[in-house]
Structure 1
Amino acid sequence: MRLLIVEDEKRLALSLAKGLTAEGYAVDVVHDGLEGLHRATQTPYDLIVLDIMLPGMNGYRVCATLRAAGHDVPILMLTAKDGEYDEAEGLDTGADDYLTKPFSYVVLVARVRALLRRRAQAKGSSPVHTIGDLRIDTGARRVLRGADPGDQDEIALTAKEFAVLEQLVLRRGEVVSKAEILEHVWDFAYDGDPNIVEVYVSALRRKLGAGLIRTVRGAGYRLEAPR
């Protein structure tokens, strides 16, 4: 999942990005409303964390412009303001949720997860995917092995390993290219070796089984149920 943070308080923005990256999300950060609008229209983000008081263009206008253009990406608004009219204005422009500063980071993560779950449900998809004897819960970000719910073992994955797996799970049966995985799992500033994807796919095969992820030469990877 790839998130965009539009926040002009640089220390707060970088702190949020660090925390959400540790949760397994790819996170891009900008500090200006116009730049945020540009990024949001050019990149298919899964969620936007949007401050209201921004230079260039305030968050209300960014949100309203995105909605007017038909973008349905979930938007969580942040503001130092406090009051029901400010909240109402944010929601009226098309925001999905609203958080007043100062806020608990734990609450922000919970709101982010709830919005992502709500979007998945709106698209008719379940957060729990069963593949062979694996249960992959993209909401709780857990992988369990075992057909019997009372006798399952959790498979420990790093945040990045789970993020790579999640992209393959969400497009199960389709070929997913390295570029597409990089786009959703690493932020826009990543300029390293794209073969890093191979490293994580190899780790997933060791932990989950060699037959789960098939390499399609010259195209990418496909998640398949073990035979």
Structure 2
Amino acid sequence: MKILVIEDNESVSSMLEMFFAKEGIEGVFEANGLEGYKKYQQGNWDVLIIDWMLPDMDGVTICRKIREEKSTVPIIMLTAKDSESDQVLGLEMGADDYVTKPFSPLALMARIKAVTRRYQTTAPKENVEKGVIKTESFKVNKNTREVVINGEPVTNLTPKEFDLLYFFVQHPKQVFSRDQLLERVWSYQYYGDERTVDVHIKRLRNKIGTSQQPFFHTVWGVGYKFDETPVESHEN
């Protein structure tokens, strides 16, 4: 695994460098935001770990620019900011996850594994069709991580957005609470951080839904469900 870390705190970078060496991870470290963004453009990365506050270009700006380029590389934000609004901003800019400082390397490793687990597929070619789900509007291929809606390819989903979509199309019209989605899609507990689910649902609605057919419906007091039925049909 090859990870780019853009972090200007020398002690944090040193800690991660030692931990990555023990885990057999190739870590590349950059302390300047602008230089880190340039380094991202020059390489192929399995994961990006980006600090929020950086010289010359902050982490949120880096994340936004990367997503504007349609890149789906998993991004984990490191932040000393623990307010909900700050965390939501990072997620809305395209981050797949965030870790609040101070943190343990093991906790960060759990997040790295979670965002990459279904991003890197090793399925043999002859089993590709086993990972394909077709619905009235969708064709979702788990193995190639391709999404087609009504014949049009979708290329701007982040890894976690794809995971969430794939989970929902497997369970049409079934209602899931936020806690259930955190367990089933993120594969670990967020300890009550349900806002993470809300942000990812919002991003999916904006990217693939319409006002007449949002696909992801809020079930008040419970959670969310995936339903391809147009909104007007629900109202009748």
Normalising by structure 1, we get a TM-score of: 0.53
Query: CA contact under 8 A between 1:6 and 1:36: conserved in structure 2?
Result: yes
Give the structure, 1 or 2, with the largest relative contact order (CA under 8 Å, sep 6 or more): 1
Q: Distance in 2 between matches of 1:33 and 1:124?
A: 33
From 138, 143, 146, give the equivalent of 1:124: 143
Counterpart of 1:62 in 2: which secondary structure?
Answer: helix
Can you list the C-alpha shifts for 1:165-201, whole angstroms capped at 9, x where unaligned?
xxxxxxxxxxxxxxxxxxxxxxxxxxxxxxxxxxxxx
Aligned to 2:23: 23
Aligned to 1:50: 50
Shift of 1:118: 2.8
Identity, % of aligned positions: 41
Q: Distance in 2 between matches of 1:17 and 1:57?
A: 22
Cα RMSD after superposing both structures: 1.4
Shift of 1:123: 5.7
CA 1:32–1:87 in 2, change beyond 3 Å: closer, same or farther? same
Q: Distance in 1 between matches of 2:21 and 2:119?
A: 20
Aligned to 2:12: 12
Q: How does 1:55-204 map to 2 (within 5 A)?
A: 55-120=55-120, 124=143
Q: Distance in 1 between matches of 2:116 and 2:72?
A: 12
Task: Give unmatched runs, 5+ long, in structure 1.
Answer: 126-227
Q: Distance in 2 between matches of 1:17 and 1:91?
A: 25
- The aligned amino acid for 2:109 is V
Structure 1 stretches of 4+ moved >4 Å: none
Q: Distance in 1 between matches of 2:102 and 2:6?
A: 16
- The aligned amino acid for 1:46 is D
Query: CA contact under 8 A between 1:14 and 1:29: conserved in structure 2?
Result: no
- The aligned amino acid for 1:67 is R
- The aligned amino acid for 2:105 is Y
Shift of 1:17: 1.6
Counterpart of 2:113 in 1: which secondary structure?
Answer: helix
Query: CA contact under 8 A between 1:5 and 1:17: conserved in structure 2?
Result: no
Query: CA contact under 8 A between 1:20 and 1:109: conserved in structure 2?
Result: no
Q: Distance in 1 between matches of 2:101 and 2:19?
A: 17
Q: Distance in 1 between matches of 2:118 and 2:59?
A: 22
- The aligned amino acid for 1:86 is D
Q: Distance in 2 between matches of 1:57 and 1:100?
A: 20
Aligned to 1:137: none
- The aligned amino acid for 1:59 is G
Task: Give unmatched runs, 5+ long, in structure 2.
Answer: 122-140, 145-236
Counterpart of 1:118 in 2: which secondary structure?
Answer: coil
Q: How many residues align?
A: 125
Aligned to 2:184: none
